[in-house]
Amino acid sequence: MNFIDRLKVELVLKLGGKEIAVPAGNIKRLSVEVLGHGFSASVEWWVVSQQSASEDTLFEHFVKKEPVEVALKLDRAHDTEGSTAEPLVLPGLVVERQVHERAFPNVQGAPVLQRRYRVRLADRAAVLWAQHFPTGVWVDQSLQEVIEAQVPQGVTLSFQWEGAKSKQPLHALGLGAEGGAASFLDFLHWIQERENAGLFFTPATGEYALRDKKPEGGKATELPLEDVAELEVCLPEPGRAQVAVLNSYVEAGTRKKELENAHKVAGVWHEHLLTSPLEGDLTQRATVEGQRRRPAEPELRVHFQRYPSVTLTPNGLYGFGTDWSAKLYTHGKQYRMYGLRLEARAESEDAADDLGDETNSYHLEMTAALELASDPTFRRPAFTRPPWPFHVEGLVVSEVGQDEERTYQAKQNEQTSLEYYRVKLPLWDKEVLVPYEPHQQPGSFYFPADKGTRVLLALEFRDARLERFLAWRPGAKLPKESQGNHLLLGKKPESQTSIQHVYQDSKPLLRIERSSDKDTQLIEVAEGRLKMQISQKK
């Protein structure tokens, strides 16, 4: 729905230690998208020098590499009777800038007297988190602590998310791993989807909140009938799949848990697979999936025929008063605004027209997206899933025996009775727990990873596993000329058993040697001979 209206627009740029305001008369094109979690916009304007190119004080700072803070302000040019509407102010950072210069060859020196500037901007957290690729581990910390450690300068973030406050044995982020394309912003949207939470942005204060329930929004504002050209009700289709959570753990008490879906179609399934010895993991996943699968309520698209005469507040509540027909679907309902789109093009795009004016006349298209205030579903943008697993090196830890002894140790979790290795990650100087399992060995072989063993770990978001061993144990490696194999058992050279199969003169030799301090027992089986020896060092 296209209409013409006069707006009071102002773009304020903070750069080079100074503040420069661009009035509506200079701004020729404008595109804005405001969502519940942030905003993006693009603005195009002209700067015209009347006598000398030096009149353009913006250019010398605009071409530098320093970050540019911006605030975009939108308001009606003239208030309607009784209106107390506040302007929509969007604070953020520039993410892209362009400038087009227009020189005048007919003027002495061919000076540049006109420049068309264009910037693309977005809210501060979205700009900075999209460039943030942390790689690290957090042990015995909450998800809230992990996220708070990634808050960039100038961003204020609060939590009303109970699930993010509980401590976990491990959180691992490998956003800087080779080949990964997901930023911390992607991770943030991913974890919200996984845990059924939402990010909410308040432009008036520039603050963000992570919440497990939507904000109340206060008293609903009535939308004036005169502002609206058309209402459009959007009816989202509910999911038709029977949702279930499966646990492939062999000794699981519950292998499958189905969730209620009154709108399902027989024969259509969405099954979520996990493998966990803990019954609580299945229950917790089923609870979250039940919340995520709640059907969305009908939405509303409001197409305006003039710039609204009421305050526009992302995540604010709106309703329809007595001027509206009681027969409409929207009658008696309250809605939350989660989206706003505006496209504006000045009636006169000539560089020299309306310069310096506080208002300008624009061709406008403006639509608001609203959801029922009772709608519990969260909305978020498309994102790239973070990469898991990613791989890091570590050293196995054991406190059994003396420092030089190659001992092994299993740490038991008091709550679950499960056993774990402790593996130190030198990169972060932290220890993580890895399941005490055979890993790639058959169960009939009991060869636990011992102290100081260099291993490769595969890190998932909240758990780790031993991927493989990276180095031979000291003393286990044989000369290549022997073409031999070696099984070295025990704590240290003074207390060990060595079983070797090597080749001497191209013939096989089996050697079994047991050492205990000064005592040594040796068995050798070679071509035509069997040697048994017991010795004691003096």
pLDDT tens digits, one per residue of 376-397: 899 999 999 998 999 999 999 9
pLDDT of 122 > 80? The answer is yes
Determine which helix (DSSP H) or strand (DSSP E) holds 145, and give its type and residue range.
helix 143-148
pLDDT tens digits, one per residue of 422-457: 999 999 999 999 999 998 888 888 999 999 999 999
**Is residue 433 a part of any domain in this protein?**
yes
Task: Using the CB atoms, write b or e for 282-312: b if 16+ within 10 Å.
Answer: beebbebbbebbeebbebbebebebbbbbeb
pLDDT tens digits, one per residue of 190-215: 999 999 999 999 998 999 999 999 98
* Confidence label for 538 from pLDDT (cuts 50, 70 and 90): confident
Q: Which residues pair with 456 in a beta bridge?
A: 393, 468
pLDDT of 269 > 70? The answer is yes
Which one-letter DSSP state was computed for residue 163? G
Identify whether the C-beta of residue 206 lies closer than 8 Å to the C-beta of residue 305. no
Distance of CA 453 to the CA centre of its chain: 34
pLDDT of residue 414: 84
d(CA 78, CA 306): 12
pLDDT of residue 104: 77
**Is residue 165 a part of any domain in this protein?**
no
**Is residue 16 a part of any domain in this protein?**
yes
Structure tokens at 204: 């008036």
* Confidence label for 33 from pLDDT (cuts 50, 70 and 90): very high
Residue in 369, 354, 368 with CA at minimum distance from that of residue 8: 354
* Residue reference for tokens 């406190």: 399
Structure tokens at 87: 């302007």
Which one-letter DSSP state was computed for residue 276? -
470 CB neighbour count, 10 Å cutoff: 12
pLDDT of residue 53: 67
pLDDT of 166 > 80? The answer is yes
Identify whether the C-beta of residue 390 lies closer than 8 Å to the C-beta of residue 309. no
**Does a cis peptide bond (omega within 30 degrees of 0) precede residue 389?**
yes
Average pLDDT, integer, range 163-181? 93
Same structural domain, 13 and 117: yes
Average pLDDT, integer, range 49-55? 76
Mean pLDDT of the chain: 92
Residue 428's domain is classified under what CATH number? 2.40.50
User: Regarding predicted confidence, which is higher, 398 or 443?
Assistant: 398
Amino acid 480 reads K
Domain tally for the chain? 4
pLDDT of residue 93: 97
Residue 21's domain is classified under what CATH number? 2.30.110.50
Phi and psi angles of residue 508, each rounded to the nearest 5 degrees, phi first: -70, 145
Same structural domain, 449 and 352: no
436 CB neighbour count, 10 Å cutoff: 19
pLDDT tens digits, one per residue of 288-333: 888 888 888 999 999 999 999 999 999 999 999 999 999 999 999 9
Structure tokens at 498: 């060595």
Average pLDDT, integer, range 456-483? 93
Residues 6+ apart with CB under 8 A from 118: 42, 43, 44, 97, 98, 99, 100
13 CB neighbour count, 10 Å cutoff: 23
* Confidence label for 26 from pLDDT (cuts 50, 70 and 90): very high
Q: What sign has the CA pseudo-torsion 143, 147, 148, 149?
A: positive
Percent of the chain, pLDDT > 70? 99
Average pLDDT, integer, range 482-491? 92
pLDDT of 270 > 80? The answer is yes
**Is residue 136 a part of any domain in this protein?**
no
Task: Please give the angle made by the CA atoms of 366, 372 and 377, to the nearest 5 degrees.
Answer: 105
pLDDT of residue 25: 95
**Is residue 432 a part of any domain in this protein?**
yes
pLDDT of 223 > 90? The answer is yes
pLDDT of residue 217: 65
Same structural domain, 459 and 494: no
Which of these three, 372, 405, 423, is where a domain ends? 372
Least confident stretch, 45-59, 123-137, 175-189, 211-225: 45-59
Same structural domain, 368 and 336: yes
Q: Which residues pair with 466 in a beta bridge?
A: 457
pLDDT of residue 532: 92
64 CB neighbour count, 10 Å cutoff: 10
Q: Which residues pair with 492 in a beta bridge?
A: 495
Average pLDDT, integer, range 181-195? 96
pLDDT of residue 304: 97
pLDDT of 108 > 80? The answer is no
* Confidence label for 82 from pLDDT (cuts 50, 70 and 90): low
Report helix, strand or coil for 202.
strand
| Containing structural domain, residue 253 | 237-292
d(CA 398, CA 65): 51
pLDDT of residue 390: 95
Q: Which residues pair with 209 in a beta bridge?
A: 158, 200
pTM: 0.90
* Residue reference for tokens 């209409």: 3
Same structural domain, 123 and 34: yes
Residue in 408, 383, 389, 384 with CA at minimum distance from that of residue 137: 389
**Is residue 383 a part of any domain in this protein?**
no
d(CA 119, CA 121): 6
Identify whether the C-beta of residue 407 lies closer than 8 Å to the C-beta of residue 400. yes
Structure tokens at 468: 């493989």
